Amino acid sequence: MESTTQQCLSLAVSTVVFALRPHPSTGRTTPWLPLVRRIREPYEGLWALPGGPLEDDQDLADSAGATLLRTTGLAPRHLEQLYAFGNVDRSPGERVVSIVYWALVRRDEDARAIDGDNVEWFVADDVHGLAFDHDVIVRYALDRLRAKITYSPIAHAFVTDEFTLAQLREVYEAVLGRALDPANFRRQILAQGAVEPTGRHVTGTSHRPPALYRSNPAHSRHSLTIEETS
């Protein structure tokens, strides 16, 4: 039975936004995420996930989207609930439960600049020393991304509506952090049916232009065993 708590606790909504970009050292494409520098205590001066208090009059996802827009200028088309973090000691001095959303942004969405002096993009695997338990949250989100890409079509969220199989493979390689054999990848991805040919090809590029594919809307879930290159 639900009933009212007597004490006043805080509920925050935060968002992990992943985009794929080249790593500044290695040049290999890898997940990045935007962080916001805290301008007040607790953890003043540290970087944190974009977020804020749950708004009184907004559903959870709406509130996450609004606070993300306000703090970073980003408005990803799709936010999905990731997990609620609510350990007793995660915020000093008060009980704060944070409901965390995540978003995967496409190459063309990512092109928009983030907005604000205290907002920057970071290589997701390299961040540490964030405010609150946000190191744990980023790690959890990365683990979920790497697991989910192997059994669902979320890779499609990183490409444009029409894409080549090479572009899709690059998404898997960036997320999984390893090279995939192009022929095996092609065979597996076509066998599981989550993409379908558009009948069109990339124009004006080469003698044999690559075919363009799109998500197969009839295929809501797939399963893909990624084979490593030898």
Q: Does 25 bind its own copies (CB under 8 A)?
A: no
Quick check: bond before 42 cis, omega within 30? yes
> In the complex with its own copies, which residue's Cβ is closer, 79 or 212?
79
Indicate the SS3 state at residue 142.
helix
For residue 79, what is the enclosing H or E element? strand 79-85
- The partner residues of 53 in beta bridges, in order of sequence, read 12
Q: How far is CA 172 from the centre of its chain?
A: 13
- The partner residues of 34 in beta bridges, in order of sequence, read 121
> In the complex with its own copies, which residue's Cβ is closer, 54 or 103?
54
Long-range contacts of 135-140 (CB under 8 A, 24+ apart): 136/85, 137/14, 137/16, 137/49, 137/83, 137/85, 137/98, 137/100, 138/16, 138/33, 138/49, 140/82, 140/83
Q: Does 191 bind its own copies (CB under 8 A)?
A: no
Contact 219, 190 (CB under 8 A): no
* Cα–Cα distance measured from residue 210 to residue 14, given in angstroms and rounded to the nearest whole number: 39
For the segment 138-157, give every residue that binds its own copies (CB under 8 A): 147, 150-151
Q: Which two tokens stand for residue 64?
A: 């996450």
Q: Which of 28, 45, 77, 81 binds its own copies (CB under 8 A)?
A: 81
Q: Which of 17, 19, 54, 79 binds its own copies (CB under 8 A)?
A: 54
Q: Which of 52, 73, 116, 177 binds its own copies (CB under 8 A)?
A: 52
Indicate the SS3 state at residue 37.
strand
Q: Which residue has the tokens 């799109």?
A: 214
x/- letters, 205..224, toward its own copies (CB under 8 A)? ----------------x-x-
x/- letters, 97..126, toward its own copies (CB under 8 A)? xxx---------------------------
Indicate the SS3 state at residue 145.
helix
Q: Does 1 bind its own copies (CB under 8 A)?
A: yes
Q: Which of 27, 88, 183, 203 binds its own copies (CB under 8 A)?
A: 88
> In the complex with its own copies, which residue's Cβ is closer, 147 or 166?
147
Indicate the SS3 state at residue 31.
strand
By CB under 8 A, the count of residues binding its own copies is 50
Q: With CB under 8 A as the contact rule, which of the stretches 35-43, 159-167, 170-178, 200-208 interacts with its own copies?
A: 35-43
CB of 115 to its own copies, least distance (A): 15
- The partner residues of 99 in beta bridges, in order of sequence, read 13, 84
Contact positions vs its own copies (CB under 8 A): 1-12, 14, 36, 38-40, 48, 50-54, 56-60, 71, 81, 83-84, 86-88, 91, 94-99, 131-132, 147, 150-151, 221, 223, 225
